[in-house]
Amino acid sequence: MGRIRADFKADGDETAGAYSISEWWLEPNTTGPGAHAHPEDDVFYVLDGTMSLLMGDHWIEAPKGSFVLVPGGVTHDFENRSAAPAGVLNFSNPGAFEQDMPSIVEWFAEHPAGDAVT
């Protein structure tokens, strides 16, 4: 997806729909998907770098090792505002989020990730 890469570690088929696990890696100074909400919970664990996470109406700077729970229905976003790559491990509950990836990839093709810091 341009400056963003996703790699699914466990999908809904493997977990009987209970959860999905994926890694999301953003190049330096890269915006994420944009503010959005969905009914399932999102859990983010920062693997490397510092990820900026929007939760509701405020941004959280989450360095490596941070854990952030976004309850279902809460508006959220993520981006990498730093000069180094950043990655998160994402847990979606319930699973089967990966079924939306073709449309997400298409969306990013039409709306490429931009610069997080101008």
**Average pLDDT of span 105-115:** 80
* CATH fourth-level superfamily of 4-110: Jelly Rolls (2.60.120.10)
- Provide the pLDDT for residue 100: 74
Domain limits, the chain: 4-110
Partners of 63 in the β-ladder: 50
Is pLDDT of 111 > 80?
A: no
For 109, other C-beta atoms within 10 Å of its C-beta total 10
| Each residue's pLDDT tens digit, 58-79 | 999 999 999 999 999 999 999 9
pLDDT of residue 1: 82
16 half-sphere exposure, CB direction, 13 A CA radius: 0
Q: Say if residues 46 and 62 touch (Cβ distance below 8 Å).
A: yes
**pLDDT beyond 90 at 93:** no
Q: Which residue has the higher pLDDT, 107 or 15?
A: 15
The pLDDT tens digits for 2-48 are 899 999 899 888 889 888 899 999 999 999 988 999 888 889 999 99
CB 92 within 8 A of CB 20: yes
* pLDDT band, very low/low/confident/very high, at 118 (cuts 50, 70, 90): low
- Separation of alpha carbons 91 and 118, rounded Å: 30
pLDDT at residue 82 is higher than 90: yes
**Cα separation of 115 and 102, whole Å?**
23
